[in-house]
Every structure is written in structure tokens, then in C-alpha cells.
Structure 1
Amino acid sequence: DHKFVVILDIPVVGVDALTQLTKFYKVMIIDHHKPKGYVRVCYINPRIYDDTIYAPTTYIAYKIYESFLNPKDILWIACIGVLGDHGVESCKDIFIKLRKMNPDLFGNSEITSESLFRNSKLGMLTRMIDAGRVIDVKNVDKVFKIITTAKSYKDVERNSFIRKLFKSLELEFEKNLKEFEKNKKVFKSVVFYEIKSKYNLKSSFAGYVQTLFEDKVICVAQKFGEYYEVSLRKGEKLSVDLSKLAETLIEGLKDASGGGHPSASAVRFPSNEIKNFINKLEKIKF
């Protein structure tokens, strides 16, 4: 029988669900979003001590593991998780370790999120693994099992299921880059694009496009049912806090929600509010 429940990277865990879980299990929550006042659980979040810290949950979990066990065999997994969450700059120690062990994963890439994501085998592996979630969340369990049973990153790189997903995603990505060039809206401080895809591409697409506009906020919207979900990213020259911007953007929009991190956030609102949302984007000045 299981005695422990570990909850990872969930911004808000419902009080009712947590109350039920703590009746039967010991619960640990590891997170890096805005701290919450959970009770009767082991709660690990570095932002309790410094709200400006950006440390992906993968990094925190790796550091805990490192305290008890030899992390050598899972270092490549930890680095993929941190890179996928755009946290390289604040967690360089593990990338320096991995580069000493497996220099072929880095090539000539600098240890930055942008350079690794675009120019290294580690970046390609990160995109390959993320393809499962982007194409269909049902793929996540299978991809998870492939990673956890892999003896090295080469097993993931060679896996036919992951390679097939990755190829499908790359084709869809290229198609949308062409559409982006034709249909993007460029405002004073914001670039807006509505992505139309059978896959949940908004987040990864926004993460790529942010490298093309160093002084603008990138806003990629995708419609799901009766709601729009929007990913916000920013160019490297901007110091704006995107979590605060998300909160500002949803003011006055009915049934809207938003938040996240200073460098990456998201908003969600009913589809009939899209014009009001775009009007807000046009007026933003930094």
C-alpha cells in the first residue's frame, strides 16, 4: 500500500482534495509558483524565502534526490526538465555537471535557455519529450515510462514512438511559423498571434517566438471550446513582470483567470472577450 503522495508543480491544490488526501496519506507538495498557506503537508517552495527566485520544480526535486541518493544517472533528465521550463540561467550548476559528463549533449552551445534549446542535442531531446504532451496529453504516461526506464538519453533519442511524435510536431510547428509571419499583429509593445492547430502548441510556440523579438511581449492565443488560452512570454531586453501583466490584462474580462511567473505567464477567458483582450494589448506601453 502507498503511504505517500507527492504533488509536483501545481499552482493551486484544492483544499477539499488536500483534506481528503491528508486523511490517508502523508503529503508532500513541491512547487515554484506563488507560495500558498497549505497546512498538514510538507510544503517545499523556495519562493517562501525569496519571491524573486525562479527555480523549476524539476530542479528542486533533483536537489532533494541528490541529498539522499547518487543522482548521476538522472542528471540528464533533470536538465531536460529545467530547460523545458526555461530555468537554465538560475540553475547552471547542474548543466555544468552534465556538460562534464556528456559534452556531446551540448556541442558548442552556451549554457543559456535560448542557445541550448536551439543549438544542442539536449534542446532537441527536450523538444522530443515535450511533443507527447503537446500532441495529446494522453501520451504523457507512455513518454514518462520511456524516460524512467531508459538507461541513458540515447534510449529516448532512438525511441520510435517519441520520434514519430516529434516529426509530427515539427511539421505542424513549421506550418505555424509561416502562418505567424503572415497573420501576426504587431503593436507598440506586444506581438499577438492566434494559433490554429490540432495540437496544444501555444506555450512552446510562444517560447520559440520570444527569441525573435527582444523588446516585446509575445502573446500567443489558442481557442479551446468556448475559451481562449493565452501564453505570455517576453524578449530578453524587457524587465516587465509577466505575472503582474497577466493580472492586469484580465481586469474587466468576465470569467477570466491569469497568472504565472515573471518570465512566463498565462491567461484564460471566454471567446466572446477576445476583442476586448486585443484592445488591451494595443494600449500597453513599457
Structure 2
Amino acid sequence: YIAYRHDPLMGFPDPDRLKQILARLELLVSVTFSWSDTAWFSDVVLPLSPYLERESIVACKNGLKPYLFLRQRALEPRFDTRADWEIIAGLAKRLALDPLCFDSIEDIWKYQLDGTGVDIEDFASTGMVPLAQQALYRKQHELKFKTSSGKIEIIADKLESQGLKSLKPYESPARPQEHQFRITFGRCPVHTQGHTVNNPMLHELMPENQLWLNQAEAERMGIADGEEVKVSANGYSGRIKAKVTPFIHPEAVFMVHGFGHTLPTESRAFGKGILDNAFMHGGLDVWDEAGGAMAMQEHFVTVSKA
């Protein structure tokens, strides 16, 4: 398994169980620009250059006015890292995969643009090349969905034939027991998932996450704003500062995802805040049978004075 700019142990529920699953792989490779739990656990780490130190292949942005775009390298890598195309082409040469054996990004760009009528020089001024001067609206009679009928389907034969209900009957969500809270999570504008928590400048702006706690519930438990609390569930616990606020439901608590790093090599992020997905015991068994996707779910935790 190759984890490309992805940290499954941070991104999926129940990381301890997931680590047991990953341990059964013959080979686990991480392509990453920063340390992560998955990279530390991997057999091989291929260090990726940060975005200012690497070029990108030509890509297309779809929409009403589609365009081609690419990224130019702003400066040479400071350390022993590679652009993603260099990593892929290097592996291709070792594996004798000739169609992917490119020696330079210019060769890749030339291959991609062949027959398009676009030259690499066209990207010089803005890094992008528009493919339409006016917005491209499809006519109503040309609209067609990717369904068997070409229309919006309330009842989909593709789902029904596999025993999946197109309109699944409503099921009331589980309610937290007394003195429990539904744990919810989210993102913030400062950090990219958990990848940037150890970045010195971004760490200065937001060094740790906080537990949003309803004001009335906090008063009931005698917890003050900024006070450290203990969060527990299924034998796992962690300490985090409380953010007491009236702007959260009394049955729920909230924290920003991506904190709670445990690698000493991440010296700034180490031990700051707590990891939300560690409280999601059994979450790997909860997934969408129709789409196959898995995401973090809401589980229940207890909160007490630390």
C-alpha cells in the first residue's frame, strides 16, 4: 500500500485497530513532505518536496470556464526530497515501466500537451491557460445524468439489484447517556488536516486544539473556560483545555481535527491537544455500503475535571 500525501492513522477512526491491519501488509510506503504516524509506521518513506520546491504535471480544472494549469518550482529543494513526478518516474525506471520513464518535467509537459494546440510557453504569465473565453452552459436538452435512465432517479436499479435501499428508512441516531457527550470534529483555516501542526509559523497561530463545551453543562460540572479537562471513551483518555461557549448543543462537544501527535520528532506538535479519531472505537466497521466510503463518525465520550 502506498500512502501518497495521506495519513490513514490520523484520518480514519480507531487508529490502534487500523495499525493492526496495516501491520499485515507486505509493504507500506509513505510519500510525504512531513512526518506522520503512518510515515513513522511505514517500511519505506519517500520524502516529497514541499509545494514551492516542486513542479506539477499539467492538470485541468473543470467548470463553466475550464482551464489547464501547472506549478513551476520556485526554488531548489533544501533537503534530499523529490517532486512527485520524480518519485514516480524513478520507481518506473526501477520497475521497467517504460511509459512512465520520464527524465524531466519538460518531457512530461510535452507529452501531455501533444495535440492540444497549447504550448508550454502559454503558461508563462499566469501558470494557466483558459480553454474557453465564455462560460460554457449546456443546453437543457443536452443534460444527462450518469444513470441508466439519464435522469435523476429516486429509485435506482443499480442499488436495488444489490440489495441496497435507494431511500433507506430513517433511523433515529443514538442519544448520549447521562453525563456523556456526542463528540464532533471539524477543520480550521490555519492547518491542513494534521500535516501542518508542526510547522513553526502555523504552530504559533494555533498550537493545540480545544474542547468546545456547552456553557450550562460546564457550569454544572464546575469547569471554567480554559481549564484542562479529561476526555474518556472505551479505555482511551486525553487531556485538553476547555473552550466554554453557549454556541454548542448541550449534548455535544467539538474539537478541531489533526492534533494529539505522539511522535517526538514532531517537537512542536508533540503532546499538544488530543486526537479525535482515537475516541472512535469500532468506527472502521461503520461505512457506506453504496459508495464504499468511510469517514469519521460521531461517538460518545465523558468529560470530567482533570
Higher fraction of helix: 1
> Given the two structures, how large is their TM-score scaled by the length of structure 1?
0.32
> Given the two structures, how large is their TM-score scaled by the length of structure 2?
0.30
